[in-house]
A = this chain, B = another copy of it.
Amino acid sequence: MSTASEAPGSELIEALGAVAFAVMAALTRVAAEHELSLTQLRMIGILRGRQMTITELAQALGLDRSSVSGLVDRTETRGLVQRRPNPDDARSVHVTLSQDGVDAFTLGAAETAGLLASLTDALTPAETRRLTTLLDRMIEHRGL
């Protein structure tokens, strides 16, 4: 759709944008089916296999601590996460996944993969490996 004289890379940007919206649509749909917000689904994904303080969660999610405080409130009411006292610092709390939270993530990941199969089925196994490698390179590069 773009002309040959366009700046190099703009086609990549457009492709990345299109894929990003498709992935986000799938994630939003999966979250909605479990009556979760996208942010809640993201949070339980981040909490897999570890405990984090409110401040750490806020940094990981790119949100203010006060926003995360309310987010944890609502998710805790749903029984997906728990607040635990931090034995090393009485000001702080550790947030962890409950078994229901682990189950919700596992189910959600499988459903997301299913929805995105219409995208990923387009590629051969060899292409899948190549694409994964290229995407990982970009992600790691962003880290620094």
Q: A interface vs B, CB < 8 Å?
A: 7-13, 15-25, 27, 42, 62, 109, 112-113, 116, 118-123, 125, 127-128, 130-132, 134-142
Contacts and interface: CB of A to CB of B under 8 A. Distances in A.
Interface residues of chain A: helix, strand, loop or mixed (majority): helix
B139 A15 contact: yes
A119 B138 contact: yes
24 contacts: A8-B125, A8-B128, A12-B131, A13-B113, A13-B120, A15-B139, A16-B119, A16-B120, A17-B23, A19-B19, A19-B20, A19-B135, A19-B139, A118-B142, A121-B141, A122-B137, A122-B140, A122-B142, A123-B137, A123-B138, A127-B137, A130-B130, A131-B134, A131-B135
